[in-house]
């Protein structure tokens, strides 16, 4: 019986040793796993910091790009307005060259040599102005084409999903508005969106306001040069434009009768359009 107890004790000790050995191995595995977890946590923290740094850089780049786009759009508006104004001036100068006023005859009905020289000097001056305006328009159009290419390149750098998903507070590249004067062929940008019409109206309104203010604040001789531009912008008929010319000529002359406003629509509160007699 003592031998059986000794055998049982040895077996128990053997089992305890085996279990202790397994427990030690499990503790080593747990320690290894804990070290790996800590390593993964450190790596995750590093990745989170790197991700935040990249997000900050992207946000700064986006702010910088938005600032560049706003600057390009503002410059585009200014250049477009300048081109529109110069085109109207070129049309006015061209009309003056095509229909030059014949020098006034003296009291005997004859034209003097001095009058002819004066006309030639005026024509040369108008041709010089016309050439200068055309060169300026050409330079502005080249600058406008470069700005369109730059703006298109900047827009292509932005992710398409971000551009579509984010509501923009202001319009993207405005297409050049339809100018009142016949504009030379220019390269068109392919970047368009739903706010182009608003930009076009804004440009036309700013240009109209600029021309009307200049017309109203100019002297009679200077205002006379702006008649054509005002007539085109406000869609005057030929009779209305002629009446405006006659009115300014009457104001600049010492004698003469004031032109009557025939055919001009009288302002009406009720909306019914009546003509002055």
Q: Which pLDDT belongs to residue 266?
A: 47
- End of a domain among 118, 149, 165? 165
76-123 pLDDT tens trace: 777 777 777 777 877 777 776 666 554 444 444 455 666 667 777 777
Q: Which pLDDT belongs to residue 187?
A: 37
Q: 265-266 and 274-275: which strand pairing?
A: antiparallel
Residues 6 or more apart from 88 whose CB is under 8 A from it? 179, 180, 181, 211, 228, 229, 232
With bands split at pLDDT 50, 70 and 90, how would you rate the model's confidence at 253? confident
Torsion, Cα 43 46 51 53, to 10 degrees, reads -170
Q: Are 77 and 207 in contact (CB under 8 A)?
A: no
> Do 157 and 237 belong to one domain?
no
Please say if the pLDDT value at position 148 is more than 90. Answer: no
Query: How many domains does the structure of the chain reveal?
Result: 2
Mean pLDDT computed over 242-266: 70
Buried b (16+ CB within 10 A) or exposed e, 206-238: ebbeebeeebeeeeeeebbebbbbbbbbeebee
The boundaries of the domain holding residue 256 are 197-277
> Do 53 and 156 belong to one domain?
yes
Helix, strand, coil share of the chain (percent; to 5): 70, 0, 25
CA 187/CA 145 separation, integer angstroms: 6
> Do 30 and 137 belong to one domain?
yes
> Do 145 and 204 belong to one domain?
no
Q: Which pLDDT belongs to residue 230?
A: 80
Mean pLDDT computed over 254-268: 58
> Do 138 and 44 belong to one domain?
yes
Mean pLDDT computed over 120-127: 75
Q: Which residue did the predictor score with more confidence, 167 or 15? A: 15
Q: How far, CA to CA in Å, does 57 sit from each of 48, 52, 54, 60?
A: 14, 9, 5, 5
32-85 pLDDT tens trace: 999 999 999 999 999 999 999 999 998 888 888 888 778 877 877 777 777 777
> Do 92 and 137 belong to one domain?
yes
Q: Tell me the β-bridge partners of 265.
A: 275
> Do 208 and 261 belong to one domain?
yes
| 122 falls within a domain | no
**The pair of three-digit structure tokens given for residue 102, joined into one six-digit string:** 């014949």
With bands split at pLDDT 50, 70 and 90, how would you rate the model's confidence at 151? low
CA 169/CA 197 separation, integer angstroms: 16
**The pair of three-digit structure tokens given for residue 5, joined into one six-digit string:** 């107890």
- End of a domain among 116, 150, 165? 165
Q: Any idea how long the chain is?
A: 277
| 128 falls within a domain | no
> Do 155 and 204 belong to one domain?
no
Q: Which of 19-33, 143-157, 189-203, 204-218 has the lowest mean pLDDT?
A: 189-203
| 66 falls within a domain | yes
| 213 falls within a domain | yes
Q: Tell me the β-bridge partners of 274.
A: 266
Element at 274 (helix H, strand E): strand 274-275
> Do 19 and 94 belong to one domain?
yes
With bands split at pLDDT 50, 70 and 90, how would you rate the model's confidence at 23? very high
| 272 falls within a domain | yes
> Do 51 and 155 belong to one domain?
yes
> Do 47 and 161 belong to one domain?
yes
Q: Which pLDDT belongs to residue 82?
A: 77
Q: Are 259 and 248 in contact (CB under 8 A)?
A: no
> Do 159 and 245 belong to one domain?
no
| 51 falls within a domain | yes
Alpha carbon of residue 66 to chain centroid: 13
H-assigned helices in 169-260: 196-217, 220-225, 227-233, 238-252
| 233 falls within a domain | yes
| 175 falls within a domain | no
């Amino acid at each position: 019986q003592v031998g059986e107890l000794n055998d049982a004790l040895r077996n128990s000790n053997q089992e305890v040793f085996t279990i202790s050995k397994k427990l030690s191995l499990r503790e080593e595995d747990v320690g290894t796993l804990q070290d790996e977890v800590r390593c993964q946590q450190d790596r995750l923290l590093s990745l989170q910091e790197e991700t935040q740094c990249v997000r900050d850089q992207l946000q700064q780049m986006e702010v910088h790009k938005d600032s560049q786009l706003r600057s390009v759009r503002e410059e585009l508006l200014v250049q477009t307005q300048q081109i529109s104004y110069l085109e109207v001036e070129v049309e006015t100068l061209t009309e003056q060259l095509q229909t030059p006023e014949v020098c006034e005859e003296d009291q005997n009905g004859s034209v003097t040599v001095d009058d002819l020289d004066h006309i030639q000097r005026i024509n040369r001056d108008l041709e010089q102005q016309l050439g200068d305006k055309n060169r300026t328009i050409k330079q502005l159009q080249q600058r406008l084409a470069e700005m369109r290419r730059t703006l298109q390149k900047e827009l292509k750098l932005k992710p398409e999903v971000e551009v579509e998903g984010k509501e923009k507070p202001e319009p993207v590249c405005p297409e050049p508005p339809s100018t009142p004067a016949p504009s030379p062929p220019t390269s068109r940008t392919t970047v368009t969106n739903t706010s182009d019409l608003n930009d076009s109206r804004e440009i036309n309104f700013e240009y109209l306001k600029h021309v009307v203010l200049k017309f109203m604040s100019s002297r009679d001789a200077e205002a006379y040069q702006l008649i054509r531009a005002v007539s085109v912008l406000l869609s005057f008929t030929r009779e209305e434009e002629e009446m405006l010319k006659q009115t300014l000529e009457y104001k600049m002359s010492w004698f003469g009768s004031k032109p009557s406003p025939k055919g001009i629509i009288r302002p009406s509160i009720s909306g019914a359009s009546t003509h002055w007699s």
